[in-house]
Amino acid sequence: MRTAAIIGGGWAGFAAALTLARSGWSVVLHEAGREPGGRARGMELALPDGTGHRVDNGQHILIGAYTSSLELMRSVGVDPEQALLRKPLTLRYADGSGLGFPDWPAPLDALAGIACARGWSAGQRLALLTRAARWRFAGFECEESTTVAQLCNGLPQRLLDEFIDPLCISALNTPMQEASASVFLRVLRDALFSGRGGSHFLVPRSDLGTLFPIPAARWLAQHGQRVQLGSRVIEIIPQGEQWALATAAGHAPEQFDAVLLACPAPEAARLALSAAGHASLPAREGIAFERWAAKAQALEHRPIATVYAWARQGEHPARLALPWLALRNTQQAPAQFVFDHGQLGGPPGLMAFVISHSQADKTPLQAQVLAQAEQQLGLKLTALRSVIDKRATFACTPALSRPAPELGHGLWACGDYVQGPYPATIEGAVRSGIQTAQALCLPQ
């Protein structure tokens, strides 16, 4: 039986572990954190009434086109239709304006949603339909050097503000002036033309850890595989054709046929460099590791912030018109979306404000979001906790060169930043984990 060590217990790492285990490999997964999930996991939030509630370490949303993620959830006993609130794509604002798709087959849902968008003039709706038809005629492809702003040049400003920019910033976490148009078009293609429900928004009813990583860890344990939490790998050591790991916890040494780096890019680069100088590694492979690490280190990262706030006075919790609303975003009003957890199975009055490409520090950001909520939603809120993931995603810029999945000598990498067609999303991470594991299973 072939053996693999997987370093990182996020969605990519567990996707790879399940794929290898089902292919007959013996797997040991090391996760530095005390619970599975990596950057997409749960955390405990203290509420004003003294109770606790599990939320994400940052509000996430999936879409119906995330077929690999949904299938993996099913494979470990999670029913996505119960665990996620599924609604047709909606970008509504508090005043009722904006876009809402009907639950129709694709692409009729998109055509009808655009044609009936509230607050847009007939000319604005026609401009978007015409541009969308042009993108489809071109196969949703464009020059790799094109930005989203260049792709959408000439569209009315209101469409840019209320449709293009919110979609771009939420999917790529990169402003449209800097974002890759080719990746943006790929996301649109898969969401709008992948079949009925591909564009649906899927919002977790519980924290992300319970959606996949925790059940995946349980499945692996039940099938004789090992998941070691709180286990930080400090070095990977080539030993002939095999590998050994040194951990901070001092686990007994083992040898593995392959190692998969499923950790964030900076940590993966550090581990690749730790192996590059070993005497048992051929010089050409050491150079290849160094070049791979340099490419991983060169990636720019962008933050995402989530402000959890309480909108409840006594027995009268606030409730939004919809489970989520788009917000008008400016430098002083930084949030793009708000989610009403009272409509997602959580306590009434709990709100989550999402700030993609967040630039402010925690204290001023929190104050800006509370002022934005009062101005745009009429809500006076109490901030509970703000979470800023400074390395949430890589900057998805045009013609970006991303690290390849294979480093050589039985060392591989997977994750949302690894070479692939998608931006830094849960689906990108999952597909990377599956595809890297499948490549590892091929005859060498």
Kindly report, residue by residue over 208-224, the tens digit of the pLDDT. 999 999 999 999 999 99
pLDDT tens for each residue of 365-392: 999 999 999 999 999 999 999 999 998 9
Region 113-135: mean pLDDT is 93
Stretch (H or E) spanning 220: helix 213-222
pLDDT for residue 192 = 81
pLDDT for residue 313 = 65
pLDDT for residue 25 = 97
Q: How confident is the model at residue 26 (pLDDT cuts 50, 70, 90)?
A: very high
Region 407-413: mean pLDDT is 96
Angle at 301 between CA 297 and CA 307, to 5 degrees: 145
In angstroms, the CA 362 to CA 18 distance is: 37
β-pair partners for 237:
244
pLDDT, mean over the chain:
93
pLDDT for residue 314 = 62
Residue type at position 2: R
Region 119-129: mean pLDDT is 94
Set out the domains of the chain in order of their start, with CATH numbers.
Answer: 3-38+209-300+399-441 (3.50.50.60), 42-62+78-84+301-394 (3.90.660.20), 94-199 (no CATH)
Q: Do 199 and 65 meet the contact criterion of CB atoms below 8 Å apart? A: yes
pLDDT for residue 37 = 87
- What's the token pair of residue 69? 């993620």
Residue given tokens 């790879």 in the structure block: 16
Of 357 and 25, the one with more pLDDT: 25
Of 42 and 219, the one with more pLDDT: 219
In angstroms, the CA 382 to CA 279 distance is: 58
pLDDT tens for each residue of 62-116: 999 999 999 999 999 999 999 999 999 999 999 999 999 999 998 899 989 999 9
Q: Is 263 helix (H, G, I), strand (E, B) or coil?
A: coil
Nearest residue to 354 (alpha-carbon basis) of 392, 313, 382, 311: 392
In angstroms, the CA 352 to CA 14 distance is: 27
pTM of the model: 0.94
pLDDT for residue 444 = 62
Q: How confident is the model at residue 409 (pLDDT cuts 50, 70, 90)?
A: very high
Of 35 and 194, the one with more pLDDT: 35
pLDDT for residue 95 = 94
Contacts by 110-115 with C-beta closer than 8 Å and gap 24+?
Answer: 110/192, 110/199, 113/88, 113/89
pLDDT tens for each residue of 263-277: 999 999 999 999 998
In angstroms, the CA 380 to CA 36 distance is: 35
pLDDT tens for each residue of 411-441: 999 999 999 999 999 999 999 999 999 999 8
Share of the chain above pLDDT 90, in %: 78
Q: How confident is the model at residue 335 (pLDDT cuts 50, 70, 90)?
A: very high
pLDDT tens for each residue of 293-322: 999 999 999 999 999 999 876 667 889 999
pLDDT for residue 134 = 94
